[in-house]
Structure 1
Amino acid sequence: MAHSQIQKVEANVHIKASADQFHDVLCNRTHHIANIVPQMVKSVEIHKGEWGTEGSIISWNYLHDGKICVSKEVVESIDKEKNKTDFKVIDGDLLKHYKNFKFIGQATPKEDGSVVNWVLEYEKQNSHTPDPYTLLELTIEMSKEIGAYLTQPIITK
């Protein structure tokens, strides 16, 4: 019997925004990410359900390795107390290379902001498929930008 090879890569990103703020954007205001990081994420749309609910289906148009890619994902689980959201990829470019792909984002409060832990869980289509380090890099950059956006001073006139 073929053993499924679930692998993972992960990273921690320190941001100045609170864990609650980051989770709120990632979970409830996902569509705003395209406004915050237009250079990385072109659009985030909802297909089924509502923002911030388990089982809702969203699609991301994003720039990865110089190409516009699409990822359709189901919000698999949301843990508000742990500021954690799991996205399972159900369609799109990633599934050309991976049998399964999941993004797990969790923000943990720290004294000066929070630490966002990203875990990318995946199963390769074949042994030639690269590990998704460039995608992990993208989620790290995106998290830093969201953190910076959330903590920028509000300019009042």
Structure 2
Amino acid sequence: MASLQVRKMETDVHIKATAKQFYEVFCSRTFQIANVCPEKIQGVDIHKGEWGSQGSIIYWNYVNEGKKGVSKDLVESIDKENNKITFKVLEGDLMEHYKSFRVTIQVLPQEKARVVHWTIEYEKLNDHSPDPHSFLQLVIHVSKELDAHLVA
């Protein structure tokens, strides 16, 4: 058996909305994401704490590759100055394949184009666990839907 280690996947999504607009939804108005793209995100509820607070726990109900999933996430860190937030998955479907799973979103204001930089850090449970390519496609889809909603 090969040694398991923390791996990383990253992607950038170009957006038209302002960095602050996009970041504020993921940080303080996370519940709105279910209204914007209900075919992929079917619910976002706060379980503990307050929206936009580090240490809060959020439940996500989502659809990925046609399958319903749930995720209980800790808002691990918030960096408002740099439009950055990190979610640590505590429980849910992802934990069937991964020992650890973190998602970091950073919205970068650029001169010509704004970019949402997604970083997924994960540790597989075993050699047969898949890399989270489909989850990466899910966050790209949600980013594009949210951007379209914000600039409409």
The TM tier, using the shorter chain, reads over 0.9
**Alignment partner, residue 32 of structure 2:** 32
TM-score by length of 1: 0.93
Q: RMSD across aligned C-alpha pairs, in angstroms?
A: 1.3
**Alignment partner, residue 84 of structure 2:** 84
For 2:62 and 2:99, locate their aligned partners in 1 and report how far apart those are by CA, in whole Å.
20
SS of 1:51's equivalent in the other structure is coil
Structure 1: stretches of 5+ with no match in the other structure: 153-157
Identity of aligned residues (%): 54
8 Å contact 1:69–1:92 — kept in the other structure? Answer: yes
Q: Output the amino acid matched with 2:91.
A: D
**Alignment partner, residue 95 of structure 1:** 95
SS of 1:110's equivalent in the other structure is coil
For 2:18 and 2:112, locate their aligned partners in 1 and report how far apart those are by CA, in whole Å.
8
**Alignment partner, residue 69 of structure 2:** 69
Q: How many residues align?
A: 151
For 2:77 and 2:50, locate their aligned partners in 1 and report how far apart those are by CA, in whole Å.
14
TM-score by length of 2: 0.96
For 2:150 and 2:7, locate their aligned partners in 1 and report how far apart those are by CA, in whole Å.
32
Residue 141 of structure 2 corresponds to residue 147 of structure 1:
no
Matches within 5 A, 1:1-150: 5-150=5-150
> What stretches of structure 1 move > 4 A for 4+ residues in a row?
none
Q: What's the offset of the Cα at 1:110?
A: 1.9
SS of 2:5's equivalent in the other structure is coil
